[in-house]
Amino acid sequence: MAEATVEELAGYVSGSVKRKQIVDVLNKNGSETFEALGKLTRTPRNMLEKVLKDMLEKGVIKKQNDAYALTENGVAVVNVLHSMR
């Protein structure tokens, strides 16, 4: 399967309130732990695990040690989403 374009990834992120919240938190704070993301986005643990796993697979976020951060594509998604406002 071909890698998704930034526009496709932006559509993917904007299609879910939780994905959008996670991207916004990571854009603002740089990186966050699983626990902090759960608290900041008020997302139940099971849902957060699934959302983060999906976003990791799509290449929007990356895991560094015990924290999550935006990838280059994730930063590009933020820029696309901001330009759409």
| Per-residue confidence (pLDDT) for residue 84, from 0 to 100 | 76
List the CATH number of the domain containing 43: 1.10.10.10
Nearest to 76 by CA among 52, 64, 58: 58
In a domain, 1, yes or no: no
Q: Are 59 and 70 in contact (CB under 8 A)?
A: no
pLDDT category, 85, cuts 50, 70, 90? low
Nearest to 52 by CA among 78, 2, 18: 18
In a domain, 62, yes or no: yes
Indicate if the pLDDT at residue 1 is higher than 50. no
In a domain, 85, yes or no: no
Q: Model pTM?
A: 0.91
State how far the Cα of 60 lies from the Cα of 17, in Å rounded to an integer. 15
